[in-house]
Every structure is written in structure tokens, then in C-alpha cells.
Amino acid sequence: MPPLPQMPINLLKPLETGAGKIVGRCIFPVFSLNDGYMTKRNFTFFLIFLPFLFFGQEYFRLSADFTAKQKNADGNIGLTKGKVYYDKHTRILRYDIYFPRKMQWIITPDKMISRIEGQEPVIKEMSGLNEFSVFHLALNASLDNFGLENSPFKLMKVDKKDDLVISYWKLPPSTRKQPVGYIAVAKKKGRLESVVMMDKQKNIISKQFFKDYLERGGFVFPQRLVHIRYDDNGTPSYEVIEFKNIVLNDVEHNEKYEAGIR
Amino acid sequence: MRKSLKKTVSLFLAGLLFLVQTQAYAYAFFPKMNDKAPDLDAAVFQLDESVLDAAMTEVNRLDAFLNDHAGFTYDDVMKAAPQLLAGYSDMEGLLDGNGPLGIPSFIWGCVLGWVGILIVYLMTEDTEETKKALYGCIASTVVWLVVYFVVLGSAAAAAHNAAVAADAY
């Protein structure tokens, strides 16, 4: 068998001696360097595996402790605490709630199951909600767009103020029944910072803020969501959702990512 | 010379047709898209944490109590520290799922992004409007295809006649 042709350029020469050699062996353990030259075969393998070297980590599951706080315009308060589980492949979202009462909410691609402890579960038909969840968007690394490309909104203009890049969107006239007329999306350093919704008279009717981003590899997730709604008198209602103890790719609690009541 | 003239006239007519088509479509179906975009101040996009903290004082107090008493339910807090539940009124809404589509409000906030909420709303509460928009879109596409071919045919015929006339001349 004739010897394989050699690459004319010594691409990996710096990785052949001293510390560079150790690093080289760590990065390219399956490739043998032939007198400092890469064979065409090895170079082909290198090109094939290159994407896996840099983008190998896939995030498909997420669990977290959550707290949802509410303060309504009428002064009433609300608090819900529990744990949330989501698997982007099965698209099953589970809430195990312990306050105000032990209960479970499970949202699958086609139904929602709820059960208060000690009672029979209630099942409702439903479809397509989880694809728009912050969990699904974050696990698919598309939280920054927030599904905007699939929305009926049309881009009006893009503006820059201080360190914010603000894009203004408008609903087309075919959706004239909607209370929301305009949306402004502000990004800071490429991350979603806040979303302001306006009615057709350009009055602000709600604001959402995305704070305390967690960054792990390619996974980026806001650990605090703040939603402020304004009623007709301009009185605000607040909703704050906090996530703690976020675990990615949890494989120890498989049962939590299935649709059964447990 | 005649060939160049013929090509130029054809290209001009095709370009004109394209321009008229796209502009007419935009004005016919998005007449209000050309209005002025809102212009918000940067401060609007900043969260005032002090105002938020002040508004959430009671809720944060209840939350802190629950963090110190893991596993406490509403009933447990009612026995141990009922004053913390003053103004707490979300029990019924949470339990019976009276929110839109039968989903409790906290799940709406947790589950759906803002665009998702609007999309789902459009697909459920506003079905007739969505259907009309869809039919309108299909109808407009058919009309424009007909118009496109009729006008394109006329333009081609005009270009051909011009070329024939130029030949005869």
C-alpha cells in the first residue's frame, strides 16, 4: 500500500514539543502526528469532529426551585413555591408545588394534568404551550429572540440608547382586536433585558424584565423575571418569578420528566 | 441596437411591474404599518429595584418565613404566623385554574414568553379573526398571481410589438 500523501502545510507544529505537545495530545488524542505532518485522512477526521469539539454539550433537561410572587393593583398578594422540571425532547413540563398547598401541574404537548394532594387528577386538553416556555427557549439557546421570528409582529425600527439596543415591533392590522399594539424589545450586550408592551395609543400597558442571568457553557437563563402590568388608571401590579438551584441534564430523576402523577 | 432597445424596454417594464406590485401590496394590506414608531426613553427599560422592593414587602416577608420553615403549606402558616397571610388571596385562582385557557396565572407567567402568550391568544380567543386573515392572505395571493400574469403578458406583448415596430421601421 503506497504511503498516504502528506499535508503540505505543517498546521500543528507548535503542538509537538513541550507543553504544546501535551495540550496537542489532549485536544487531538485520536490523531497521530506523522513527523509533524497531518495526513489527509487524519485531517478529514479532524474536520468531521471539529464541530463536536466546540459545540458538543447539548442541554436537554432543566430543573429548578421556583418562587412566584404577586402583588396586585388592589393590594392583594400571592405566593407560589415549588420545583419545576422540563425536558425539551419530551416537552413535558412539571411543577411540583408545596406552597400554598402540595399539588402538581404537568403540561404535556397535548394536555394539562393537575392534581391537588389527596384528590383525583384533573385532565384538560391543550396543545403547543411548552414550545414557548422560557425553559424550552433557553434549552434551545433561542431565548434572546423569544420566538419573535414566529410571531405576527413586524419590525418597525431599531434604535440605540445608552448601552441598550431597542427594536420596535407592531402587530399587523389583521389582529386589531388585540389590546397590544406595539412592543419594544431592549437588549443589552446581546441579551434580552426588557420588553415593553404598548396599546394602540402607545400607552405602556406592561413591562417585563429579565435579570440575573445564569451562564453555563452555552446555556443562558434569566434567574429572575419581573412583570409589571398597568391597569386603566396606571396602577401597577407586580409579578416576580425567581429560579434557584438550577440543574441541567438531570438524569437521576427520570420519573420527574415523564407525564405520570407522582 | 434594436436588440438592446428590446432588452432595455423589457427590463424596464419588468422592474416597473415588480415595483408596482410590491408597493401596492404593502399599501393594500399594511396601510397602517407606515405610521411612526414609538420612541421610548432608556429609563423606561430600567427596573427600579427600590420601587419593586417596596411593593413586594409583604410577599418577601412571607417568602423569607417559608425559606426558614421548609415544607410549610398555607395551612401550616395560618397556624404559625397568620399575620403573614394578610392580603393573601390567590388560593382559589391557583387551585381551580381560572386563568386564560384554564391555566393558572402563575403558570402563564412561568411557562410562556410574551410572544407565546400573544400567539396562543391569537390562535384561541381570536379564531375568527385569524381565519379571516388566513383566507384574506390566500385570496390576495391568488388575485396577485392573476394580476401578475395578466400584466406580465401585456408587458411582454407590448415589448414584442415595440420590437416588431422597430424592426418594420
Model confidence pLDDT, tens digit, residues A181-198: 888 889 888 888 888 888
Could you tell me if residue A8 is inside a domain? no
Could you tell me if residue B49 is inside a domain? yes
Model confidence pLDDT, tens digit, residues B141-156: 444 455 555 666 666 6
CA angle A184, B116, A140 (to 5 degrees): 95
**Over 80: is that where the pLDDT of A259 sits?**
no
How many distinct structural domains can be found in chain B?
1
Instruction: Please report the pLDDT score of residue A238 as a whole number.
Output: 92
Which among B63, B75, B111 has the least Cβ separation from residue A67? B63
Instruction: Please report the pLDDT score of residue A15 as a whole number.
Output: 47
Q: What is the 3-state secondary structure (H, E, C) of B62-115?
A: HHHHHHHCCCCCHHHHHHHCHHHHCCECCHHHHHHCCCHHHCCHHHHHHHCCHH
Residue of A nearest to B114 (CA): A146
Are A48 and A70 members of one domain? no
Residue of B nearest to A160 (CA): B42
Average pLDDT over residues B40-57: 94
Residue of A nearest to B35 (CA): A156
Q: Is the model more confident about A254 or about A20?
A: A254
Average pLDDT over residues B108-123: 54
Instruction: Please report the pLDDT score of residue B17 as a whole number.
Output: 79
B25 neighbourhood in chain A, CB within 8 Å: none
Instruction: Please report the pLDDT score of residue B47 as a whole number.
Output: 94
CA distance, residue A52 to nearest chain B CA (Å): 30
Are A31 and A66 members of one domain? no
Say whether B71 and A236 touch across the interface (CB within 8 A): no
Could you tell me if residue A219 is inside a domain? yes
**Over 70: is that where the pLDDT of B126 sits?**
no
Instruction: Please report the pLDDT score of residue B57 as a whole number.
Output: 94
Instruction: Please report the pLDDT score of residue B63 as a whole number.
Output: 94
Instruction: Please report the pLDDT score of residue A183 as a whole number.
Output: 85
Say whether B40 and A196 touch across the interface (CB within 8 A): yes
Model confidence pLDDT, tens digit, residues A28-53: 444 445 555 556 666 666 666 555 55
Average pLDDT over residues A101-115: 87
- Which of A141-150, A233-242, A252-261 reaches the highest mean pLDDT? A233-242
CATH number for position A105: 2.50.20.10
SS3 of residue A184 by DSSP: strand
Q: Is the model more confident about A175 or about A9?
A: A175
Are A186 and A237 members of one domain? yes
Could you tell me if residue B67 is inside a domain? yes
Q: Which three cell numbers stand for residue B57?
A: 414587602
ipTM of the complex as predicted? 0.71
Residue of A nearest to B42 (CA): A161
How many distinct structural domains can be found in chain A?
2
The pTM score is 0.65
Could you tell me if residue A189 is inside a domain? yes
Instruction: Please report the pLDDT score of residue A9 as a whole number.
Output: 45
Model confidence pLDDT, tens digit, residues B54-107: 999 999 999 999 999 988 988 899 999 999 988 887 554 454 555 555 555 556
**Over 90: is that where the pLDDT of B169 sits?**
no
Q: What pLDDT band is residue A84 in, cutting at 50, 70 and 90?
A: very high
A128 neighbourhood in chain B, CB within 8 Å: 120
Residue with cell 425532547: A89
Q: Which three cell numbers stand for residue B39?
A: 420612541
Beta carbons of A148 and B115 less than 8 angstroms apart: yes
Domain termination residue (choose one: A55, A72, A88)? A55
Say whether A78 and B58 touch across the interface (CB within 8 A): no
Are A251 and A132 members of one domain? yes
CA dihedral A258, A216, B113, A198 (to 10 degrees): 170
State which residues form the domain around A30.
Answer: 13-55
